[in-house]
Homo-oligomer: A and B are copies of this chain.
Amino acid sequence: MTVPPTAGLVPVTVDIVALTVLNGELNVLLVRRLLEPFAGDLALPGGFVLPNETLPAAALRELDEETGIVPPGHLEQLRTYGPLDRDPRGPILSVAHLLLAPADRIPQAGGDATEAGWHPVSTLGALAFDHATILNDAIERARNKIEYSPLAATMCPAEFTIAELRAVYEAVWGQNVDPRNFHRKITGTPGFVTSTGKRGGGGTGRPAELFRVADGISPHDAVLYPPLLRRSM
């Protein structure tokens, strides 16, 4: 038996919401579209899934092609949008992905993109397609996710101070966190961070201890218990 002829064959794309924290602000990776529809507009990087390609492979390929960004970082599926009323070309399904990445790589435009760069999410204009909706869902997911998983650390360099990690939480949540209590909570949560022994100088004030994510922890599925709840709003 094969696929019945009544089955809808649907073009499938992947879109990637890559988030990072830059200058204390939550930023998203956007490209400027070269082609119609929405040529010249800002959009999430993404494109059509190729035959014999998995969804995460397509997401990573499109991200590399259009922005030059190659993880490390945490990639997970967000949700699927469509197929109706989201693309002027017709019914197209988009499987959106969320990537949490450190901010140390510089985007390089390529493929169907004329520009690629990080944009603060607080000052965005309109985006192509339904990408504004997808972005909002992605931010909401990220806000929830860092409460009960160590994923915030994937938006920091390999070695980071507690203050850098706190800046991630503050940027993602959009609210301030008490530095003293945050420090205790993070260092007191087993399986989150371990000290490297080193200290990071640089700024004024006492140099902070450098940490990395705890050994054997896959930020993908580790769980913080009790979670690090943000204040209700």
Q: Point out residues on A near B: beta carbons under 8 Å.
A: 1-4, 6-13, 35-37, 48-55, 77, 79-80, 82-84, 89-93, 95, 225-226, 229, 232
Contact = CB atoms under 8 A, between A and B. Distances in A.
Nearest to A37: B1
A189 to B, nearest CB: 12
A10 B12 contact: yes
B3 A11 contact: yes
Contacts of A93: 10, 12, 93
A8, A13, A36 — most chain B CB neighbours (10 Å): A8
Given A79-B79, A84-B52, A229-B226, A90 B9 contact: no
A3 B90 contact: yes
Given A1-B37, A6-B50, A79-B80, 19 more contacts: A1-B36, A7-B11, A7-B12, A7-B13, A8-B12, A8-B50, A8-B51, A9-B10, A9-B11, A10-B10, A10-B11, A12-B93, A49-B83, A51-B91, A53-B84, A54-B84, A55-B80, A80-B80, A80-B95
